[in-house]
Structure 1
Amino acid sequence: MQDWLFKRGRRERVIDWLSLDSKIDSTIAESWERFRDVWNAGTSFFSRFKITGWKRLLNEAASEGLSLGAGGFVVMYALAIPAFHEFNEGKFLTGQFAVKFLDQNGNEIGKRGILHNDAVPLDEIPDAMVKAALATEDRRFFEHWGIDVYGTFRALATNLQANEVVQGGSSITQQVAKNLFLSSERSFQRKIKEAFLALLLESRFSKRDILKFYFDRAYMGGGAFGVEAAAQFYFGKSVRQINLAEAALLAGLFKAPTKYAPHVNLPASRARTNEVLNNLVEAGFYTAGQVHWARVHPAKTIETRNPNSPDWFLDWAFEEVQRIAAGRGAYVLTARTTVDLNMQKATDEALTQALRNYRGNRIGSGAIVLMETDGAVRAITGGPDYGESQFNRATHARRQPGSSFKIYVYAAALENGYTPTTSVRDASRSCGRWHPQNYGGSHGGGGRMPLWNALAKSLNTVAAELSFAVGRDKVIEMTQRVGITGIRKTCSMALGDYGISPLEHGGGLATFANGGKLAKPYAILDLVSSKGDLVYSRDRDEPEAPQVVERKVAEGLNWMMNKVVTEGTGQRAQLDFTNVAGKTGTSTGPKDAWFVGFTGKYVGVVWLGNDDNRPMSGGTTGGVFASPVWHSFMSVVHTDMNIPTIPGLQPHPVQVSEQQRIAAIHPEGAAAGPETQRTSSSLMSDQARDALRKTAAALRKAGGIAEPPPSTTPNSTGSTPGSPPPPPPNKRADGTVPADHRRATLGVAQPPLDGTPARAVP
């Protein structure tokens, strides 16, 4: 059988390699020739566009410009993303609610809502008001596209020439963007956001809409937002009725309402008004003769300002009202709040004085929160000057708490087997490349000490090791239970490397101050509609606070925090009439200084720093600078000795001594219990009680009623009823009694809130 693989006795080749090689060579040669033809054709075609000389130079410049423009677009888009995140449509809808606020006793303390929003349409705002604002703030408003480049360079040149900031470069649109979405911190990042938001506003709204936003949202001093509320506040009439002089005064307030408010500084206000009138002439809106009458007949203001308006508190309370009332169908409301105006004044004065004293330490800002141990907020000071910046640092600024965060780390440790006397070592393991070190730079000496002593000394190494040993997830879970959100799991989280607002920090601290029950900060006691219907009542609508931390854990932590104040870094916060528990805190830089602490009655939080995050002077710590501020207002807000005992501590010796003194004077009151004692000694003075007796006797005599038999029981002053009361000891020449003596004599100590006897932790 002849095999097809063989021919003439030889194997026939299956693949003809010579033929394949020939085909490959020919294909490559043909492809190359074809490519050369296409290349030559293309070259011939594009050679028609070859340019030389100035045309080529222009083309190269255009090409480079296009490349740089593309790169610049990418960079600008990256910078614009944070600004776009700030844009919130809800900011335009604040006119939905109109709220009148009362203090807890029913006295009106302020208003928020549509009163200072869109009460007057733009068409009804006088021409003088519109022109005065444009001439002073942004003459090219209807010409630019959100950013007045020419005006910015003009202001820069003017400021350089004067060697100080005398003229602003922000357009009206940029100011609207700042008022709606941003804080007033002076930083490059804020200016970038402001510029992009201005462009976004110009693309979304008309010039008339933006001008209306400006007239409605600008702060005009005295707690008034917008020109309508300002006209009512300063002149007692609608903005529709103001004249040129009054319009010029209002326009002068846009720059610095506190500085130029007529109630604050009348000469400065008059000078600023004349400057606005000059601007009207320079801009060509009025002639010199037309503004002359306004110069010789300046605006007359009425006295309606409430210097004690708790504006920081009201801003936050208004946010709370909107949250609570959402979906309830009522928009004109009266809200009874938790604020105490005397305490508000004390915190305001404490921060103002501190910033004045600490000016040399490069501390430019601060915030204070004061609340009761159940979360009822009594005072909020959100910054150094509400007129200059309405950004509420107490409620909205998230700053690094530093070592004050350690209270949550130690609380987690106490929940997981540690006790205040557990022996710990001044050392810690590393976490990646991070090595914890104590204040001053040491990495720990390795010595052993009880847990409470490590907290009192604020050792970073021990806190970091506790977070690793207990588990950082458990520390985060602890913060969430007490109402603090946003803490992230990092190596240095035990040292407070993530931001917390002072209000949130105060709520977390109050949870331990009351024995472990959740103390979410609140401002509203009840809401009543315009028809008189009770829309919301805290007692009715809010559930009982849950126990989120075991009482023994809270007691142990409180005992340790008391050691911080008596033997540790917070000694400047000690009060001589009651126990204090607290913790100091200082962030890296130092950029933040804190003291958070409480008595048996009040919780106080103090933060000091700078809005632009600039470091303070070296050596600035919470223990040295924030603790004295806390002490200054806490010494004032405790007006009597009716202070519960902190869970985990024994009553303060001064309180025990005062209770024994009252019991010796009023043995029947002592038997009746603390409530009776409190009524007889705290709520009414001896002078008032004697005056009431005399009035009752006079009424009986006038009505022919027989006098009751005289009592021989001595009163609290040691005299019999009817005899003139002796003058109080330590009385000053002006008739007042020193605060320290007043605190020591007005009341008595009270047992813990839950009625259980206080006990010390070993």
Structure 2
Amino acid sequence: MDKPKQPESPQTENKSDDQGKQKIFDPREQAIKYKAYRHIFSDKDVKKGLDEKSIIRKIKKSKSLSGRYRQYLEMRDDDNRGSHTYPWQNPFNRFLFWGAYWIPRFMKWGSLLALALFILNYIPGPTQHIIEVLIARSVYDTAPIERLPDDLETYAHSADIKDSRGAIIKSYGKRKVTQQIPAAAQKALLACEDHYFLPHPGNTWYENLFLIHPGVSWLNLVGAVKDTLQGDPRGASTIVMQNAKKILGNEKRTIANKLEEIIIAYMMVAKFGKEKNLNFYINTVPVGANIYGFPAAATNYFKKDLATLNMQQLVTIGSFIPNHNRQIAFYEIVNGKNFSDLSPALQGHARSAINKINLALTHLWKRKEIADDQYRSWLLTDEESIRRIGFRDFRSPLYGEEEWTSWNVIKEVSSRTYTLNGREISGTQLLLDEKGAVSIETGTDLALVEKMKVIIGEFLESSYFKEILASSNQGTWLRDKERYTSRGLTPPYTDFNSFLEYLQHNINVGLLAVNQKGEIVAYVGGKEFLQTRNDEKDEEEDEAPDPSETAAGTSAGKSSNQKAVIIDIMNTKAKITPSSTMKPIIAYYAMVANNAKMSDRFADKPIEYKYVASTGRQTWLPRNWYNYDANRPMGHEYNLLEAQVISVNTIFARLYTNPLLRNAMLQGFDQVGLDYSKEDAKYWPFGIGSSAVSVQQWLGIYNAFLDGQYRDPSFVRRIQINGKTIYDRDQDEQYAKIPLFDSKKEREAEMNALYEVCNRGTGSAMKTEFKHHKNLVSGKTGTAPMNKSALFISHFNPYRDRQTHKDRTLTMLISVTTNTGGFKSVGTSGNAPAKIAGRIYNHLFQQELQEMMDKNIDKAKREDTHFRNNQVYWANVNRYMDTLLTGKCGNTLISDNIIGVDDYGEALVQILNSNTKIYTGRDDVFSQLVQYYCDQEKMVRMDSAPAN
């Protein structure tokens, strides 16, 4: 190809004529043109060849380019100019120039670099995802992002509810890794939530090669964006991203928050590893209302340890993430409903859970984690397949027995606001959002609660209680059967034996205990059951309140034939009929307002004689629990003490008719804020204690007998954040002491009467269960009309000297009732609750006695080498103590004269005395000690009465 014609320089045209058309070859001009040509005609153009038109066009462009470049050089030579112009005036040409030069080179080497980084980032081995992590690390180090904690268990927020011994009742901070997770639970969780969190031999090669993510799944993120744009919004968070969300506290779905979670997720895997992140998630993920983590779910849903659950049960727990409505829908089905009985919303939740469970099981089956027969039997198809999962028989879909403490604590904490660093925060913020370690201390003793449940269960199954039910219902079951048949209904039993089985199944026991400060120490809300309410009017409705309104609490259901969960006894709305437990309060106000004394005598005489429809005849009202006969004739006089011991209704009904007494008592009730019916209070002479009052407040009133001061019962003792107290019950005005029984002389007289009720009156039924109860238990029994419920409220301290051991005093309410209407009896005179109390108090007494003996014997071993090295002496001590506990002096028990752990402690000190050396086997000296205690029965000692 010929070289293009070079354009003539303007300088040449200005030469003189004698030069003519001679061309001047200026080297500089030639260089300028050469540089212009180099950018116009590439080597590729030369080799390819150009047509004439293209050559002319390019030459024109070269002239323009060379002219501008020459102008640029001339301007550079001009020293008077302060700035220089680029060789081209049009910026677009400059862009084209650099684009044409650099973009191909950038694309070439950039593609090679990207390919190398991709291979380096995703090839399995130590370098996998290293580039993503390095980028995340760069952002983490430079951007203002929340710093990671030193340990996953110490991130920003936690809230622990503790019992009186410091044991964790519940952790609501979502940070505590409570235990190592079984491999099966890990596999089930990953099958439900994240298939590509860990490599697996069952995956295809490309899944393990490319889809196993480093804590962030970009494939899932892209899919979520696509689905969201198409109108089907969904999340794309991996397990680690959800952990990051907990640590950051991000609640709002914003792009900034999501980017922050992505960076933190990368760093969490880099710092803690996938295994710790997985265990942290499984231990802390919400799997139900107030249920965090798989271990808690295993207890709540199946009442088993996590390690004992099968794969179907594990994926069922996983299916409740994050939609707790699925769990509610399942429990509706477990409790007997069909899909057609559920609301449309619950139907959707149930089918969503089924779909998630079946998909997870299919995934595990394909990976050969479960056998073929297991897979086929575990797939969910209908309601019955859901019931076969093995959910525990607990009827409330939200809260089981283990949750009742934490649930009531949450309600109490959330009911008030708190001041922290000069700002007000709500209880909800304190539990869920406040930075720091929140510690909520309660007075509850969980070990005691569990022991009480065992004691109650054993008593209800005992042959003794079955005999009580049989003897109490011989004459009532036919009346109850007639109640059904007269309405055209089929009774839920066929004969007396099946009636007793039906009755026992519906017996409910409620228990609540507080210490002298009013802190709730123990509780049992009764069996978990469903209450069926109907509009049938009980024939005894005028005398017997609806049992569902009594000790077990109030029913949550209102409509006809509606099943509803009974509210537990700790609920502040729960009410109870106090019945005869009203009498000691009337006796106290009789002494205060009417100047009565315990020795004053009153006639056993009803107030009126009228026709009662339920009996079909004229009846004296109010009625006693006994019939008048030669031994107990109408009009017989009893002193105020004996009237309480044998619980004479008529005497206290007549006392209550006195306006001074009535006004003083009701004024005291109003002063402490007792929830009672003022209208019913007008008619109490004809039904003492027959209208319902608040359970907790009534227990608080009985607690006031100890020192005269009323305190509202509560759970929360103290709240701290990072060791700093922000709430103390003792400083809370809501729980300030209210003077109630503030007349000390009359209060102490009444306390002695309460001791006598338990020593030899209606409360002495406990003696078969707790033979050491004398002067250690004070209280009163009560029985509702028709014996449909029995009540026992009592004080107990294992020490004779209560004042020295105030922290050991309990005030406890026990109610035994039936949660069905009709004619049914749970026993008379508080028999069942008194015996349950006796078993509980015996456990506490024996526990305290053993601790005292261990302490004194260990002390003797340290101080007396002669005793320390002789096991025969240790055996002698145990033999002598057993004699004091079980032996007799004449026809009476020695223990009748040794009251409390402190008295036994004094006897043990004598046995271990290094001077007398009774422990060496000196039976003669021990006999003198026994005689000393036996002689106490013959002596009138001022200190024999219990110290209050």
TM norm structure 1: 0.52
Question: How far apart are residue 413 of structure 1 and its match?
Answer: 1.3
Q: Which residue of 1 aligns with 2:446?
A: 341
Summarize the alignment of residues 238-387 of structure 1 with structure 2, pairs less than 5 Å apart.
243=315, 246-247=318-319, 280=354, 296=374, 311-325=403-417, 328-329=424-425, 331-332=430-431, 333-357=438-462, 358=465, 360=500, 362=504, 363-385=506-528
Q: 1:606 aligns with which of 792, 795, 814?
A: 814
Q: Which residue of 2 aligns with 1:458?
A: 647
User: For residue 857 of structure 2, what is the amino acid of its counterpart?
Assistant: D
1:101 aligns with 2:169: no
Question: How far apart are residue 599 of structure 1 and its match?
Answer: 2.3
Decide whether aligned partners of structure 1 residues 556 and 623 sit closer, same or farther in structure 2, where only a CA change above 3 A counts: same
Decide whether aligned partners of structure 1 residues 518 and 598 sit closer, same or farther in structure 2, where only a CA change above 3 A counts: same
Decide whether aligned partners of structure 1 residues 253 and 569 sit closer, same or farther in structure 2, where only a CA change above 3 A counts: same
Q: Is the 8 A contact 1:403 1:496 kept in 2?
A: yes
Q: Is the 8 A contact 1:593 1:620 kept in 2?
A: yes
Alpha-carbon distance in 1 for matches of 2:739, 2:597? 20
Summarize the alignment of residues 459-498 of structure 1 with structure 2, pairs less than 5 Å apart.
459-469=648-658, 470-481=660-671, 484-488=674-678, 489-492=681-684, 495-498=688-691
Decide whether aligned partners of structure 1 residues 411 and 604 sit closer, same or farther in structure 2, where only a CA change above 3 A counts: same
Q: Is the 8 A contact 1:561 1:582 kept in 2?
A: yes
Alpha-carbon distance in 1 for matches of 2:647, 2:899? 36
Q: Is the 8 A contact 1:368 1:606 kept in 2?
A: yes
Q: Which residue of 2 aligns with 1:438?
A: 624
Alpha-carbon distance in 2 for matches of 1:244, 1:458? 55
Decide whether aligned partners of structure 1 residues 386 and 428 sit closer, same or farther in structure 2, where only a CA change above 3 A counts: closer
Alpha-carbon distance in 2 for matches of 1:259, 1:740? 50
User: For residue 602 of structure 2, what is the amino acid of its counterpart?
Assistant: V
Question: How far apart are residue 220 of structure 1 and its match?
Answer: 10
Question: How far apart are residue 585 of structure 1 and its match?
Answer: 0.7
Q: 1:726 aligns with which of 869, 873, 881?
A: 873
Alpha-carbon distance in 1 for matches of 2:406, 2:415? 14
Question: How far apart are residue 365 of structure 1 and its match?
Answer: 0.9
Q: Which residue of 2 aligns with 1:418?
A: 596
3-state DSSP of counterpart to 1:345: helix
3-state DSSP of counterpart to 2:785: coil
Q: Which residue of 1 aligns with 2:845?
A: 638
Higher relative contact order (CA 8 A, sep 6+): 1
The CA RMSD measured in Å over matched residues stands at 5.5
| Structure 1 spans left out of the alignment, 5+ residues | 1-96, 117-124, 130-213, 261-275, 302-307, 643-677, 694-710
Summarize the alignment of residues 584-623 of structure 1 with structure 2, pairs less than 5 Å apart.
584-600=781-797, 601-613=809-821, 615-617=823-825, 620-623=827-830
3-state DSSP of counterpart to 2:708: coil
Q: Which residue of 1 aligns with 2:710?
A: 518
User: For residue 343 of structure 1, what is the amino acid of its counterpart?
Assistant: L
Alpha-carbon distance in 1 for matches of 2:295, 2:640? 48
Q: How many equivalent pairs are there?
A: 479
Question: How far apart are residue 557 of structure 1 and its match?
Answer: 1.2
Decide whether aligned partners of structure 1 residues 111 and 607 sit closer, same or farther in structure 2, where only a CA change above 3 A counts: farther
Decide whether aligned partners of structure 1 residues 113 and 548 sit closer, same or farther in structure 2, where only a CA change above 3 A counts: farther
Alpha-carbon distance in 2 for matches of 1:548, 1:344? 29
Question: How far apart are residue 423 of structure 1 and its match?
Answer: 0.7
Decide whether aligned partners of structure 1 residues 547 and 632 sit closer, same or farther in structure 2, where only a CA change above 3 A counts: same
Q: Which residue of 2 aligns with 1:576?
A: 771
Which deviates further from its counterpart, 242-251 or 397-406? Answer: 242-251
Question: How far apart are residue 586 of structure 1 and its match?
Answer: 0.9
Q: Which residue of 1 aligns with 2:836?
A: 629
User: For residue 588 of structure 2, what is the amino acid of its counterpart?
Assistant: A
Cα deviation, 1:431-472, whole Å, max 9, x if unaligned, reads 999931112466981111101111112121111111102443
Question: How far apart are residue 583 of structure 1 and its match?
Answer: 1.0
Q: Is the 8 A contact 2:418 2:727 kept in 1?
A: no
Alpha-carbon distance in 2 for matches of 1:510, 1:623? 19
Summarize the alignment of residues 544-563 of structure 1 with structure 2, pairs less than 5 Å apart.
545-549=737-741, 550-563=743-756
User: For residue 475 of structure 1, what is the amino acid of its counterpart?
Assistant: M
Q: Which residue of 1 aligns with 2:225?
A: none
Q: Give identity over the alignment, percent.
A: 15
Decide whether aligned partners of structure 1 residues 366 and 231 sit closer, same or farther in structure 2, where only a CA change above 3 A counts: closer
Q: Is the 8 A contact 2:582 2:688 kept in 1?
A: yes
Cα deviation, 1:271-314, whole Å, max 9, x if unaligned, reads xxxxx999958x9997997896676367999xxxxxx9854333
Question: How far apart are residue 341 of structure 1 and its match?
Answer: 2.6
Question: How far apart are residue 368 of structure 1 and its match?
Answer: 0.8
3-state DSSP of counterpart to 1:420: coil
Q: Which residue of 2 aligns with 1:77?
A: none
Q: 1:400 aligns with which of 564, 569, 577?
A: 577
Q: Which residue of 2 aligns with 1:508?
A: 701
Decide whether aligned partners of structure 1 residues 220 and 535 sit closer, same or farther in structure 2, where only a CA change above 3 A counts: closer
Question: How far apart are residue 685 of structure 1 and its match?
Answer: 5.0
| Structure 2 spans left out of the alignment, 5+ residues | 1-156, 177-188, 194-285, 336-349, 380-388, 391-399, 432-437, 467-499, 531-563, 613-620, 798-808, 888-894, 906-941
Cα deviation, 1:224-244, whole Å, max 9, x if unaligned, reads 58999999995999xxx9857
Decide whether aligned partners of structure 1 residues 573 and 477 sit closer, same or farther in structure 2, where only a CA change above 3 A counts: farther
Q: 1:684 aligns with which of 852, 855, 879?
A: 855
Alpha-carbon distance in 2 for matches of 1:392, 1:433? 38
Alpha-carbon distance in 1 for matches of 2:795, 2:333? 33
Alpha-carbon distance in 1 for matches of 2:834, 2:817? 14
Alpha-carbon distance in 2 for matches of 1:339, 1:284? 38
User: For residue 902 of structure 2, what is the amino acid of its counterpart?
Assistant: V
Q: Is the 8 A contact 1:608 1:626 kept in 2?
A: yes
User: For residue 771 of structure 2, what is the amino acid of its counterpart?
Assistant: D
Q: Which has more radius of gyration?
A: 2
Cα deviation, 1:683-720, whole Å, max 9, x if unaligned, reads 73524874xx5xxxxxxxxxxxxxxxxx7xx58xxx44
Alpha-carbon distance in 1 for matches of 2:731, 2:517? 16
TM norm structure 2: 0.42
Alpha-carbon distance in 2 for matches of 1:287, 1:380? 40
Decide whether aligned partners of structure 1 residues 254 and 582 sit closer, same or farther in structure 2, where only a CA change above 3 A counts: farther
3-state DSSP of counterpart to 1:620: coil
